[in-house]
C-alpha cells in the first residue's frame, strides 16, 4: 500500500488547470513522495493519453446511484462532485488520500504535509470557509426591518439544508456552522467518514443540488454526526485576496504576518480560470501594486516581468 495519493478531477475544459496543478506538485514535493489519481469527467482521448504517459491513474467514475446518474447526465462535469465521497473505493491501495480541486495549485509542500498529518489522526482534514478573511461570518436577512430581532440565516449550509428538505432539527444544527470547503481535504482510506458521507449524499440528492451535495454531505458528517475533524489554517486552502512577495515571487496571506500561502485555490477567480489574460490587482510587500493572473506559472511569469519594470506606485 502506497502512503499518499493526491487526487483531482476535471472535464476537458479544466485540463490545462490540472496540468498546472500537477506541475506545481512536482516542483514543490520531494521526489517520489506521492502518486496522482485523476477523475475523468469528460476528458478527450489525447488528454487521457497525457496522463497515461505519466503513469497517472485515470478513473471514469460511474454514478453509484440512480439520482447521481440523473444528475451527471445533465451536467457531466458533476461526476467530480458526486465521486468525492467514493475516493476510497475508486482509488484503493493508498493510506491517505488528499483531494485537490482542479483549480488549485501547491505553492508550499508543507500544506500537503499538514493535510496528510491531520488525516492520519483519524480525522477529516479540511479548511472552513470562515475566519479573519471573511468580512461577513454569517449571511443574515433581517425581517421586518429587524424589529424584534427577527432574522433569517442565509449561510451556505442553511440554504443547502433547506433546499435538500432536511429536517428542521438538522437545518438548525447546520445553520450557524462554518462550512467545510470540499475543494481541499484529506482522509485516511480506512476512515469511517467515507461511508457516512455517501449515505448523506444519497439523502441530499433526493431534493438538493448535486453541485453542492459533496460539501453538504461532508458538513453533515462533521456537524450532525460528530465525526472527528481537524480544521486547518486558511493557508492550506487559500481562496481569498492574497498579497505578493515580489522578491521571492510568492503569494502570501493578505494580513500580517504575511505567511506564505500553501495551497492556492482559484474558486473565486472564474475569469482567471478561463482566461489567461485576466489579472488580479495585488499589493506587494514592497508597497507597490502588481497585476498578475494567479494561475501557476502565469503568476510567476508576470511578477518576474514586473520586477524588470517600474511597478505601478500605490496611490497616496
206 and 249 belong to one structural domain: no
Which tens digits make up the pLDDT trace of 260-269? 999 999 998 9
Mean pLDDT of the chain: 89
123 and 19 belong to one structural domain: yes
**How high is the pLDDT of residue 73?**
72
Which tens digits make up the pLDDT trace of 59-113? 998 877 777 777 777 777 888 999 999 999 999 999 999 999 999 999 999 999 9
pTM here is: 0.91
192 and 149 belong to one structural domain: no
Phi and psi torsions of 121, nearest 5°: -80, -5
Pairwise pLDDT comparison (130 vs 7), residue with the higher score = 7
* CA gap 189, 166 in Å, rounded: 28
55 and 147 belong to one structural domain: no
Q: Helix 15-28 to helix 109-119 angle, to the nearest 10 degrees? A: 90
Indicate whether 138 pLDDT > 70: no
Which tens digits make up the pLDDT trace of 4-59? 999 999 999 999 999 999 999 999 998 888 999 999 999 999 999 999 999 999 99
- Report the domain count for the chain: 3
Domain of 158, in residue numbers: 140-173
229 and 242 belong to one structural domain: no
Q: Within a domain: residue 8?
A: yes
* CA gap 42, 128 in Å, rounded: 29
Binned at pLDDT 50, 70 and 90, residue 163 comes out as confident
39 and 186 belong to one structural domain: yes
Q: Within a domain: residue 314?
A: no
Picking from 82, 10, 1, the residue whose alpha carbon sits closest to that of residue 42 is: 10
Q: Which residue shows C-alpha cell 504535509?
A: 113
Q: Within a domain: residue 315?
A: no
Q: Within a domain: residue 123?
A: yes
Binned at pLDDT 50, 70 and 90, residue 314 comes out as very low
45 and 102 belong to one structural domain: yes
61 and 115 belong to one structural domain: yes
244 and 157 belong to one structural domain: no
35 and 106 belong to one structural domain: yes
Pairwise pLDDT comparison (288 vs 74), residue with the higher score = 288
The helix or strand, by DSSP H or E, that contains position 283, with its residue range, turns out to be strand 280-284
**How high is the pLDDT of residue 133?**
72
- What would the mean pLDDT of 246-262 be, rounded to a whole number? 96
Q: Within a domain: residue 41?
A: yes
Q: Within a domain: residue 313?
A: no
128 and 200 belong to one structural domain: yes
96 and 206 belong to one structural domain: yes
DSSP 17-53: HHHHHHHHHHHHSPTTS-EEEEEESS--HHHHHHHHT
Q: Which residue shows C-alpha cell 493578505?
A: 254
What share of the chain has pLDDT > 70, as a percent? 90
Amino acid at each position: 500500500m502506497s502512503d499518499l495519493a493526491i487526487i483531482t478531477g476535471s472535464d476537458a475544459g479544466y485540463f490545462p488547470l490540472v496540468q498546472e496543478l500537477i506541475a506545481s506538485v512536482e516542483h514543490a514535493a520531494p521526489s517520489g513522495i506521492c502518486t496522482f489519481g485523476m477523475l475523468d469527467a469528460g476528458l478527450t482521448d489525447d488528454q487521457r493519453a497525457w496522463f497515461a504517459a505519466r503513469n497517472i491513474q485515470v478513473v471514469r467514475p460511474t454514478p453509484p446511484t440512480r439520482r447521481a446518474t440523473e444528475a451527471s447526465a445533465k451536467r457531466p462535469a458533476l461526476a467530480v462532485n458526486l465521486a468525492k465521497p467514493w475516493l476510497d473505493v475508486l482509488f484503493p491501495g493508498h493510506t491517505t488520500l488528499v483531494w485537490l480541486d482542479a483549480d488549485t495549485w501547491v505553492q508550499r509542500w508543507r500544506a500537503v504535509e499538514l493535510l496528510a498529518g491531520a488525516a492520519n489522526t483519524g480525522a477529516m482534514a479540511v479548511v472552513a470557509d470562515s475566519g479573519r478573511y471573511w468580512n461577513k461570518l454569517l449571511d443574515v436577512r433581517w425581517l421586518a426591518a429587524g424589529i424584534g430581532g427577527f432574522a433569517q440565516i442565509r449561510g451556505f449550509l442553511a440554504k443547502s439544508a433547506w433546499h435538500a428538505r432536511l429536517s428542521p432539527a438538522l437545518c438548525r444544527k447546520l445553520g450557524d456552522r462554518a462550512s467545510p470547503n470540499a475543494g481541499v481535504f484529506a482522509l485516511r482510506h480506512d476512515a469511517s467518514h467515507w461511508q457516512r458521507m455517501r449515505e448523506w449524499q444519497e439523502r441530499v440528492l433526493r431534493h438538493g443540488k448535486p453541485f453542492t451535495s459533496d460539501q453538504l454531505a461532508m458538513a453533515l458528517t462533521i456537524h450532525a454526526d460528530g465525526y472527528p475533524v481537524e480544521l486547518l489554517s486558511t493557508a492550506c486552502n487559500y481562496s481569498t485576496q492574497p498579497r505578493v512577495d515580489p522578491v521571492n515571487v510568492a503569494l502570501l496571506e493578505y494580513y500580517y504576518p504575511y505567511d506564505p500561502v500553501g495551497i492556492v485555490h482559484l474558486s473565486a477567480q472564474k475569469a482567471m480560470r478561463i482566461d489567461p489574460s485576466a489579472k488580479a490587482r495585488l499589493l506587494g510587500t514592497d508597497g507597490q501594486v502588481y497585476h498578475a493572473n494567479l494561475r501557476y506559472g502565469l503568476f510567476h511569469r508576470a511578477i518576474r516581468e514586473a520586477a524588470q519594470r517600474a511597478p505601478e506606485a500605490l496611490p497616496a
